[in-house]
């Protein structure tokens, strides 16, 4: 069987399973999630052995330390994946809820029912925890999944999917509910892009390159996720002490994540007060500061920030800082360079706060808080499958609810149209 | 300026206007809609003269009568477009509504605000009324539009857009809110497919060929609309008198529309009672009946229905009829051939009614009513911009609400993440 046939076959099975899974009650799905969790823990030796192979090959292939860390599974990390599944089992099941049922003048009762999307394709990097997290969330919302993880994690993913897929079947879920593309050939991804007959949506999770490849080549509808060139703007009316804490948090609390700050904008009237201290604090936390001319004038040894820097998601201990003339320049800068993920204003000025909320067109817009909160758990949505930076269907953190759609249901008594 | 530059330029203008329009209050938008309506009526001579040119060229190019009818504008039709705009002005404005604002344990207030999508590209056939309807609905929800109508309507569209665009500007809407692609070269559509930087969504309105071309080639997110191979299933427990009325209505009340019935499925135990009468009634209304072997056995002079017929949206006085063994065969047939638009069951059996609602995966699923009701107005959503047959973002009739998205807004008091 060639790659195209193989991937198509798996997607077909997932589609078949999706029809059955769509109408299974919560009890079955929750039981499956719990059994999947138990199975992960019971078979952790098998997972660790498979992961060891991936780690060894990863080292041979010269993967960076941070990529190796993402690839690594430990007893603790397996327990954490299992715990994640148990938490998902506790969530409310969105499926089957009827909403907005209204009676029309002719007596027709018209409303909607929440239903699964169907089959969700996930294309992601060599992070085996995504395999389990994504499968769990998709199943909870009644969807089946076709998973395609990074080739460096193939052994880990095969072990994980074998274990959770068997556990799900034993709990009564249809066979084929969790499918893994097992070839590491890139052609497999190209095939997924065109499987409109079997995949209802593709969700890429990973870096900008991966996401752009999916957006530019997939005819299957895509939910674009995650690239975050996030900004924080320190207004002239900011509480500078609050601003300091938020800037340090947004930049350094965790750097390799999409909701961390990459560019700091500072109103010119507070620049002299604010910048020397904050740069010192950032440097104490090993952060490289790049800045515009005014920043360089105010603080010693600041590297010039280039046009490219303003557009870069550093995902590292690097921050670009720009002094702006006023609120409007801050908003214009954000409009030009932002990836529309998360942006914050720090201000005590009521009008400016609300103008910022209105004018900044990003998935999450903050007043007086760290952008690091853009996260399904932090927003109270439970676990998330990613953070959408597009406008269709879902925007911002996507929880179980965003993995559903609706259909109209119409209860009639023989009505016909005039 | 070449075609690519020209189309890109218009999209850029639309994007610029969208930023301004997004934060204009309802009063401006409603005033613009009313002034657009007045302008259409005041300048109807200009519209009729432009339309006359299109009609003449259409006749020379040998357009069919039904295409010429879609292209034709009359005083009455212009009044009806104006009336449509006035109705849209009356709708509630969805923009700015804050929803689901909840306080998190750390005091952060997290919720969503409804905002426009941004710039909506509409690709449609030579139906000048779509130009006005689409522009009106998009503006109401705070979006700007880039319109690309069929080349046979180019003169009409130019006149219409000139009139409504000027009226909108005079009412205070940003210049460039309503843009028309004025070249009739097909290259313009190819350019639109790739304008991810300026278009937030593309909505194709038209036949299956047009829609597939957009879905298969656009990297801009698409909302697939409209193709309707709709089914009605007459269950063994149907009230046959009700079934008769619904079948006649769903097939013949209007045939050239996506929500009309194309295939009738009849349970074998009622086939003998039901089919001879219904076929006679359909034939009295000039409907050509094609059928499976069993239909041919029960009724004289029925053409055999081919595999292709089951998959065809006739959009005409043609109906394919199949006798099925049981409920399951009906659902399986629908699953195989439906375009997931609208399907109905006619039954008095409570369990079968609910099973049908659960098992049929279409945008609108009916019990005991005509599929002809799948329509924004009939469902109580106001005017519609199309009927989505995809699962992402919007499914079924799309009104003003479906032309919006949300962003998360977060009100903090200095919160940082642990």
DSSP 8-state class, residue A218: -
Domain, as residue range, for B210:
3-224+390-410
**B121 vs A contacts (CB less than 8 Å):** none
* N- to C-terminal Cα separation, chain A: 55
Question: Is the confidence at residue A256, as pLDDT, over 90?
Answer: no
Q: What is the pLDDT of residue A383?
A: 85
- Say what the ipTM of the complex is: 0.93
Mean pLDDT across chain B, nearest whole number? 96
Q: Give the strand pairing for A364-369 and B404-415.
A: parallel
Question: Is the confidence at residue B226, as pLDDT, over 80?
Answer: no
Q: For an interface test with A, which of B18, B348, B369, B388 has the most A Cβ atoms less than 10 Å from its Cβ? A: B369
In a domain, residue B54? The reply is yes
Contact A137/A162 with Cβ under 8 angstroms?
Answer: no
**B215 vs A contacts (CB less than 8 Å):** 196, 219
How would residue B50 be classed by pLDDT, with cut points 50, 70 and 90? very high
Contact A17/A144 with Cβ under 8 angstroms?
Answer: yes
A residues 110-129 lying closer than 8 A (beta carbon) to B: 110, 113, 115, 117-118
From the list A104, A221, A391, the residue facing B118 with the nearest CB is: A391
Both tokens of B261, joined, read 């019935």
Rounded CA separation A196/A12 (Å): 11
Contact B159/B46 with Cβ under 8 angstroms?
Answer: yes
Q: Quick one: A211 and A260 in the same domain?
A: no
Q: Quick one: B12 and B34 in the same domain?
A: yes
**Inter-CA distances, A362 with A134, A165, A400, B14, B29, Å:** 24, 37, 21, 19, 23
pLDDT tens-digit readout, A122-159? 999 999 999 999 999 999 999 999 999 999 999 999 99
In a domain, residue B149? The reply is yes
Tell me what the mean pLDDT of segment A239-254 comes to: 97
Report the 10 Å Cβ neighbour count for A27: 11
Please give, rounded to a whole number of angstroms, the shortest distance from the CA of B278 to a CA of chain A: 16
Rounded CA separation B214/B189 (Å): 9
Rounded CA separation A205/A191 (Å): 18
In a domain, residue A13? The reply is yes
* Nearest alpha carbon to residue B220 among B148, B152, B158, B157: B148
Q: What is the pLDDT of residue B25?
A: 92
Q: What is the pLDDT of residue B268?
A: 98
Q: Quick one: A184 and A270 in the same domain?
A: no
Rounded CA separation B93/B76 (Å): 28
CB-count burial class (<10 Å; 0-12, 13-18, 19+) for A35: buried
Q: What is the pLDDT of residue B278?
A: 98
In a domain, residue B380? The reply is no
Strand order in the sheet with A288-291: A303-304, A288-291, A318-324, A261-267, A230-234, A342-346, A364-369, B404-415, B109-116, B98-103
Q: What is the pLDDT of residue A226?
A: 76
Given the structure tokens 């399986």, which residue do they identify?
Answer: B332
CB-count burial class (<10 Å; 0-12, 13-18, 19+) for A61: exposed
**Maximum separation of any 2 CA atoms in chain B, in Å:** 80
**Inter-CA distances, A298 with A239, A242, A279, A294, A301, Å:** 20, 21, 10, 6, 10
Contact B400/B94 with Cβ under 8 angstroms?
Answer: yes
Q: What is the pLDDT of residue B359?
A: 96
Q: Write down how long chain A is.
A: 418
A65 touches chain B (CB under 8 A): no
Q: Which residues pair with A323 in a beta bridge?
A: A266
Q: Give the strand pairing for A396-398 and A386-388.
A: antiparallel
Rounded CA separation A105/A418 (Å): 13
Question: Is the confidence at residue B1, as pLDDT, over 80?
Answer: no
Strand order in the sheet with A144-148: A178-180, A144-148, A119-124, A201-205
Contact B311/B337 with Cβ under 8 angstroms?
Answer: yes
Give the residue from chain A lying closest to B335, CA to CA: A19
* Nearest alpha carbon to residue A192 among A10, A22, A20: A10
How would residue A253 be classed by pLDDT, with cut points 50, 70 and 90? very high
Q: Quick one: A62 and A198 in the same domain?
A: yes
Report the 10 Å Cβ neighbour count for A75: 12
CA angle B312, B314, B320 (to 5 degrees): 70
Of chain B, the percentage scoring pLDDT greater than 70 comes to 100
In a domain, residue A382? The reply is no
Both tokens of B12, joined, read 């850029």
Tell me what the mean pLDDT of segment B122-146 comes to: 96
* Nearest alpha carbon to residue A95 among A18, A16, A11, A195: A18
Size of interface A-B (CB pairs under 8 A): 197
Given the structure tokens 């010192």, which residue do they identify?
Answer: A280
How would residue B24 be classed by pLDDT, with cut points 50, 70 and 90? very high
Q: Quick one: A116 and A68 in the same domain?
A: yes
Q: Give the strand pairing for A109-116 and A404-415.
A: antiparallel
B residues 2-61 lying closer than 8 A (beta carbon) to A: 19, 22-23
A residues 219-258 lying closer than 8 A (beta carbon) to B: 219, 221-223, 239, 242, 245-246, 248-250, 253
In a domain, residue A192? The reply is yes
Q: Quick one: B136 and B198 in the same domain?
A: yes
How would residue B206 be classed by pLDDT, with cut points 50, 70 and 90? confident
Tell me what the mean pLDDT of segment A249-261 comes to: 94
Rounded CA separation A87/A78 (Å): 14
Residue A290 main-chain phi, psi, to 5 deg:
-115, 150
What is the CATH classification number for the domain harbouring A82?
Answer: 3.40.605.10
Rounded CA separation A397/A380 (Å): 10
Question: Is the confidence at residue B227, as pLDDT, over 90?
Answer: no
Rounded CA separation B86/A390 (Å): 32
What is the CATH classification number for the domain harbouring B324?
Answer: 3.40.309.10
In a domain, residue A300? The reply is yes
What is the model's pTM?
0.92
* Nearest alpha carbon to residue B145 among B18, B34, B36: B18
Contact A177/A186 with Cβ under 8 angstroms?
Answer: no
In a domain, residue A379? The reply is no
Contact A14/A177 with Cβ under 8 angstroms?
Answer: yes
Q: Quick one: B171 and B29 in the same domain?
A: yes
H or E segment to which residue A98 belongs: strand A98-103
Given the structure tokens 């065109």, which residue do they identify?
Answer: A194
Rounded CA separation B299/B280 (Å): 9
Contact A112/A407 with Cβ under 8 angstroms?
Answer: yes
Q: Quick one: A30 and A171 in the same domain?
A: yes
Domain count, chain B: 2
How would residue B369 be classed by pLDDT, with cut points 50, 70 and 90? very high
Q: Quick one: A355 and A398 in the same domain?
A: no
Report the 10 Å Cβ neighbour count for B163: 21
Q: For an interface test with A, which of B201, B366, B407, B411 has the most A Cβ atoms less than 10 Å from its Cβ? A: B407
Rounded CA separation B252/B319 (Å): 10
**Positive or negative: CA dihedral A263, A264, A267, A273:** negative
Q: Which residues pair with B178 in a beta bridge?
A: B145
Q: What is the pLDDT of residue B84?
A: 94
Q: Quick one: A182 and A59 in the same domain?
A: yes
CA angle A21, A397, A353 (to 5 degrees): 150
Q: What is the pLDDT of residue A382?
A: 84
A408–B200 CB contact, under 8 Å: no
Q: Quick one: A207 and A248 in the same domain?
A: no
Tell me what the mean pLDDT of segment B182-191 comes to: 93
How would residue A317 be classed by pLDDT, with cut points 50, 70 and 90? very high
Q: Quick one: A13 and A97 in the same domain?
A: yes
Q: What is the pLDDT of residue B66?
A: 85
Of chain A, the percentage scoring pLDDT greater than 90 comes to 94
Report the 10 Å Cβ neighbour count for A121: 28
Both tokens of B280, joined, read 């006679």
A209 touches chain B (CB under 8 A): no
pLDDT tens-digit readout, B53-85? 999 999 999 999 989 999 999 999 999 999 999
Contact B112/B97 with Cβ under 8 angstroms?
Answer: no
């Amino acid at each position: 069987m060639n790659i195209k046939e193989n991937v198509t076959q798996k997607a077909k099975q997932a589609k078949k399973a999706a029809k059955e899974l769509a109408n299974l009650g919560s009890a079955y799905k929750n039981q499956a999630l719990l059994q999947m969790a138990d199975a992960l823990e019971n078979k952790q030796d098998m997972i660790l052995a498979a992961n060891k192979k991936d780690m060894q090959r990863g080292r041979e292939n010269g993967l960076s330390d941070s990529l190796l860390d993402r690839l690594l599974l430990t007893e603790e990390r397996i327990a954490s994946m299992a715990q994640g599944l148990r938490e998902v089992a506790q969530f409310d099941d969105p499926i089957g809820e009827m909403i907005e049922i209204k009676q029309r003048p002719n007596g027709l009762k018209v409303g909607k029912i929440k239903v699964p999307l169907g089959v969700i394709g996930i294309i992601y990097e060599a992070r085996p925890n995504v395999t389990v997290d994504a499968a769990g969330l998709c199943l909870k919302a009644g969807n089946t999944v076709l998973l395609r993880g990074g080739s460096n994690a193939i052994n880990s993913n095969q072990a994980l999917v074998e274990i959770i897929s068997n556990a799900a079947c034993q709990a009564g879920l249809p066979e084929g509910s969790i499918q893994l593309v097992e070839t590491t050939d890139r052609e497999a991804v190209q095939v997924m892009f065109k499987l409109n007959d079997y995949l209802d949506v593709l969700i890429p999770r990973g870096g900008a390159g991966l996401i752009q490849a999916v957006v530019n080549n997939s005819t299957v509808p895509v939910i674009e996720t995650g690239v975050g060139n996030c900004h924080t703007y320190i207004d002239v009316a900011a509480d500078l002490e609050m601003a300091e804490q938020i800037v340090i948090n947004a930049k350094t609390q965790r750097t390799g994540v999409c909701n961390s700050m990459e560019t700091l904008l500072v109103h010119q009237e507070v620049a002299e007060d604010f910048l020397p201290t904050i740069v010192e604090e950032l440097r104490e936390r090993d952060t490289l500061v790049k800045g515009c001319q005014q920043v360089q004038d105010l603080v010693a040894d600041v590297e010039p920030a280039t046009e490219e820097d303003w557009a870069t998601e550093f995902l590292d201990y690097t921050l670009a800082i720009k002094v702006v003339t006023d609120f409007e320049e801050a908003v214009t800068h954000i409009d030009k360079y932002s990836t529309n993920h998360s942006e914050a204003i720090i201000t005590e000025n009521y009008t400016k706060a609300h103008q910022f909320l209105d004018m900044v067109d990003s998935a999450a817009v903050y007043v007086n808080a760290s952008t690091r909160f853009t996260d399904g758990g932090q927003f109270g949505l439970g676990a998330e499958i990613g953070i959408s930076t597009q406008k269709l269907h879902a925007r911002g953190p996507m929880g179980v609810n965003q993995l559903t759609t609706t259909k109209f249901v119409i209860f009639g008594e023989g009505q016909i149209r005039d």
